[in-house]
Amino acid sequence: MQYDYVVIGAGMGGLTVANFLAKYGKKVLVLEKHSIPGGLVTSFARRGVHFDLGILGLYELDEGQTIPQFLEFWGASQVPTRPLRGNLKCFIDGTEFDIEAGKVRESLLEQFPKNRDDVNRVLDIMHAINKEMHSGKEAPEPPYDMTLFQLVKFGMNAMRQRPMFMKYGNKDARRVLDSLTTCDELKTAVYSKAPYPMVFMAFAYQWSVYGESRYPVAGMQAIPDAAVESLRNQGGELKLNAEVAEILIGNGRACGVRTTDGSVYRGAVISNVSPQFTYEWIPDTVAAKARMKAAIARRRIFEPAAALFMALDESRYSLGDLESISIVSTRDYRMTTGEYRPDTAPICINVYPGIEGDEFRPLVAIIPISYEYHNFWETEAGRKRGQSYRALKQEVEATLLHRIEQHLGTGFTNALVHHELSTPLTFERYTYSKNGSFMGWSITQRDYGKFLRQRTDIDDLYLVGQWVFPGFGVAGVMASGYYLAKEILKSDGVDLKKDFAKFFA
């Protein structure tokens, strides 16, 4: 079967580029190994409760933001949303700190009265960084597409227009926090919002959108479902349960894929799968394969997490107006995922609003535990999951539940009607995201901004998603689809940037 483009993976990057190309008349096929589209933006049901994979809310779902604008441009149905206005509870080495939505500064000042200047300094800098990040008049171009003159100009403008971002935002959070306060509890409270080694800009963003994010009324699955609807309305196709086994190369160009059932689909290839898996599908006889693999071999991957899905009977235990609960230690902001164990790792529990018809309240605890933990979670050869893997999962789950019970009481665990643990290997298996990473490449100071090009060394083979510009986050992943479509359509004389701006003028 012949197509203009075959997209591997129905994550939001793949669905985005497919929609833009289909809108301009390209014949597009999206292949998805899973039974539902969306990648990390999917939902599943257990015991009559719908769980998302850990994304609680998105600021970019607000009116005029990336996601609704893309959907409107494609002609998709809009996704009804609701605001998230819940409070935060943070246990730091057992001591409880409460942060009220819309009153972050007031809450922190009240709970850190001896560190008032530090609180104001940290929040003022985060506010300034976020303001500078959103001060541009238009979206930036990928840095690898800039000329030397454009790069120099961009750097000079950044120094002048974004001084706080350049001084603090692109530095490691640990270094920045150590420079702003000596209070370890305050550092930990800031870090608890997303306890991963990242540049400080990531924390500035997380705190700036707290209280401003939105959640789809029908759950996160509504976003990819809307994108699939528009894709099909524009003539594009989606095949589920279709796993790629090989990328076909002819005359030095990608010319299609072969799936595990032997089906062949012809066309230029766009992969929404991590490059590590994408490159393995290229035949060994292709000279560029070894070079492409070597180019990413030393790149560091954003550290993965385990997820504990819990269904809570609120008639027996109420969380009130809480949106998130963190169980952390003052040592956490100095550590990496590889150093954590189940009895020491931070636990961040997202409290979801739930969707109509759910009998119980969905909670998802995100726990940074390494992909390599305990001999790759006691898997067998080829990462095969056997009895030892399942036994270790149960042990880790019991440890995490015990720690949560120590902070929330036995009433909480007694009110759980369901709980199950997913490991980083589970995320990798379902999403083809290397090591189960949910943010692509590492975004520490050493690594941030080193984006892969969307064009590979093989003609007609492209990359899209969290591993290429502009990087992490659902909006960033969707933006990568926009940038790739803009580049591809340019050869047809289409100015996507101009058309998009005109559409919303």
pTM of the model: 0.94
Within 10 Å of residue 144's Cβ, how many Cβ atoms? 14
Using CA atoms, how far apart are residues 375 and 450, in angstroms rounded to an integer? 30
Distances (CA, A) of 301 to 20, 158, 169: 29, 27, 20
- Residues 249, 282: contact at Cβ < 8 Å? yes
Specify the 3-state DSSP secondary structure of 213. Answer: coil
Residues 6+ apart with CB under 8 A from 490: 496
Specify the 3-state DSSP secondary structure of 11. Answer: strand
pLDDT of residue 54: 80
- Residues 478, 70: contact at Cβ < 8 Å? yes
Cβ-in-10-Å burial (0-12, 13-18, 19+) of 112 comes to middle
Torsion of CA 348, 368, 472, 103, to 10 degrees: 20
Among residues 271, 245, 269, 273, the alpha carbon closest in space to that of 259 is found at 245
Using CA atoms, how far apart are residues 82 and 105, in angstroms rounded to an integer? 24
For residue 29, the surrounding DSSP H or E stretch is: strand 28-31
For residue 77, the surrounding DSSP H or E stretch is: none
Q: Which residues face 328 on adjacent strands?
A: 92
Q: Which residues face 411 on adjacent strands?
A: none
Torsion of CA 48, 49, 50, 54, to 10 degrees: -150
What tokens were used for 148? 């030397």
Torsion of CA 2, 457, 239, 266, to 10 degrees: 10
Q: Is-cis flag, bond preceding 68, omega within 30? A: no
Length of the chain: 505
Residue 431 has, within 13 A of its CA and on its CB side, a CA count of 29
Strands (E), 217-360: 237-239, 244-250, 253-259, 264-271, 306-312, 322-328, 347-351
Q: Which residues face 5 on adjacent strands?
A: 28, 268
**What type of residue sits at position 348?**
C
Using CA atoms, how far apart are residues 209 and 231, in angstroms rounded to an integer? 30
Using CA atoms, how far apart are residues 389 and 313, in angstroms rounded to an integer? 29
Specify the 3-state DSSP secondary structure of 247. Answer: strand
What tokens were used for 173? 């959070």
Within 10 Å of residue 411's Cβ, how many Cβ atoms? 11
pLDDT in single tens digits along all 505 residues of the chain:
899 999 999 999 999 999 999 999 999 999 999 999 999 999 999 988 999 988 899 999 998 899 999 999 999 999 999 999 999 999 999 999 999 999 999 999 999 999 999 999 999 999 999 888 775 555 566 666 666 555 555 555 655 677 898 899 999 999 999 999 999 999 999 999 999 999 999 999 999 999 999 999 999 999 999 999 999 999 999 999 999 999 999 999 999 999 999 999 999 999 999 999 999 999 999 999 999 999 999 999 998 999 999 999 999 999 999 999 999 999 998 998 889 999 999 999 999 998 999 999 999 999 999 999 999 999 998 889 999 999 999 999 999 999 999 999 999 999 999 999 999 999 999 888 999 998 899 999 999 888 889 999 999 999 999 999 887 789 999 999 999 999 999 999 999 999 999 999 8
Specify the 3-state DSSP secondary structure of 183. Answer: coil
Using CA atoms, how far apart are residues 108 and 501, in angstroms rounded to an integer? 41
Looking only at Cα atoms, what is the longest distance across the chain?
69
